[in-house]
Structures are given as C-alpha cells and as structure tokens.
Amino acid sequence: MKKSSKFLPVIGWSMWFSEYLFLERSWAKDENTLKSGLQRLKDFPRPFWLALFVEGTRFTLPKLLAAQEYAGSQGLPIPRNVLIPRTKGFVSAVSNMRSFVPAIYDVTLAIPKGSPPPTMLNLFKGKSSVVHVHIKRHLMKELPETEDGVAQWCKDIFVAKDALLDKHIAEDTFSDQELQDLGRPKKSLVVVTSWACLLISGALKFLQRSSLLSSRKGIAFAVSSLAVVTLLMYILIRFSQSDRSTTAKVAAAKPKCEGKPSETGDDK
C-alpha cells in the first residue's frame, strides 16, 4: 500500500498492524523496503498469502488511455481491460521468495452485469455485491530463471488476463464451468464482531473512569477528535472510488525523440 495509507484512522492502522509493506512509489526508496519485507516472510510461523497488485494503481479510463498510448509507442499489445503491469516489484518478489513460496495464483476479478460495484461507499450503505473470481495456479519452479524472463512472463499473463476479461464482458462469465458460490465467510464475521465488542467495551470503560466528559474542555476535545476521524474516513471513502483516482500522466507514454527506449519502460 501507499505509505500515507497507514496514517488513516482504523483502516490504515489495521494495515500497519497486519504488517503490510508500505511503499513510496519510488523504486530507489522502495527496493530495499520490499526486499527486507519479503525476506522476513521466509521465517513466518504460519502459511501466508502475499497479494501483489502488479498494475500498481487503480484502473481508470485516463490511465487506460495512457497505457494504450504507451503500448502503441513501444509495439506492445494494446490493453483493453487492464493496465500494463509494472514488473519491478513482481520480479523482486519472485527473486526473493522463489526458495520458500511454492506457487503463484493469478487472480482475476470481474463484476457481473447488474451488480453494484464493491466500493467502500456501497459497503457502508449496506449494498452487497457479487464478484466473479477466476484463479489459476502456477508453480514457482515453472517460472523463468532470469529477471527479464520473469518480467516477460508477467506481461504475458496480463495479455491473457485481458482476453479473459473480454470473455467475461461478452458472456458475463469467465468459463463454461459452473460457478462455485463461496457464500459469506462466517469466521471473518466472528473475528470482526469480537474485536468491535472488545474495543467498544474498552472505550466505554475508559469514558466511565476518566473525567473526559465531565468538563467542557473534555467534551470539546472528544467531539473534535470524533470530527477529525469522521472527516478522514470520509476522505478515504471518497478517494476509494475508482473514478476519483489520480489522473494518469499520458506524457510518460510518449516515445523518446532520439529513438532511445523510454527510461520508465521497466516501470510500466
């Protein structure tokens, strides 16, 4: 996640405590952070999943247009439903975890027609969403040995992913196989409910034993703190909508006048 995300109330803090890797979107700064974080997983006491969003940003129409322009200038397949993957982080992950991670799961998500998008705003409104998930398992030992080979493998996966999404758009399904309904995970509901009860109980006991609400200053402080948290959560929810994502810089996709390869090519 972006480094600034960890300072967001509740959600950012939970990411921090869950040992997310926070990046600054600068390879010069993030390379060591990513490498050390991945190496720590080697001795992790439990089985784990590491989620990598290889596109590096949210999908929006301006970013798709920028990716299409870049692909056209570099002679790459023109994407229709995905962005061009930024392979440096993926290559680093494979290089550092090849010895102790057995497989890579290629996960593709799509929202069926008629289902509301699963945004945070819809979540707080109580609107449920249906999400189709296509998963393909690749053994780590089957990946190329060289970094360039791994980068190209990742790009090829996204070309196939683009075609898979074309099929879903046309047929509202990924394949002819019957969909498996996973239902609602009860374990997650129990965990969230337990933590909510524990935190609310602790907050109530704190207020009962403290004099925070027994004076005007205390009440003003409590109200101000609540207002700040509410404002930050509102900003987070608003900016979680994909159409409010930062506009892509199309200029980065333009080829060099001298005919030299783009300096940012490896990051796209």
pLDDT digits (tens, 9 = 90+) for 48-94: 888 888 998 888 899 999 999 999 999 999 999 999 999 998 999 99
Tokens of 1: 């996640």
168/183: higher pLDDT: 168
Average pLDDT over residues 148-152: 96
Q: What is the pLDDT of residue 250?
A: 41
Residue 146 banded pLDDT, cuts 50, 70, 90? very high
User: What is the pTM (predicted TM-score) of this model?
Assistant: 0.72
Task: Specify which residues 139 forms β-bridges with.
Answer: 103
pLDDT above 70: percentage of residues in the chain: 87
User: Pick from 88, 92, 85, 75: which is nearest to 106 by CA?
Assistant: 85
Helix and strand counts by DSSP (H, E) for the chain: 8, 2
Q: What is the mean pLDDT of the chain?
A: 82
The pLDDT confidence band at residue 147, using thresholds 50, 70 and 90, is: very high
State the angle between helix axes of 147-171 and 87-97 in degrees (0 to 180), rounded to the nearest 10.
Answer: 120
- The answer to whether residue 33 scores a pLDDT higher than 50 is yes
pLDDT of residue 268: 38
Sign of torsion over alpha carbons 73, 79, 84, 90? negative
Q: With 90 as the cut, is the pLDDT of residue 138 above it?
A: yes
What is the pLDDT at residue 239? 64
Q: What is the mean pLDDT of residues 121-143?
A: 88
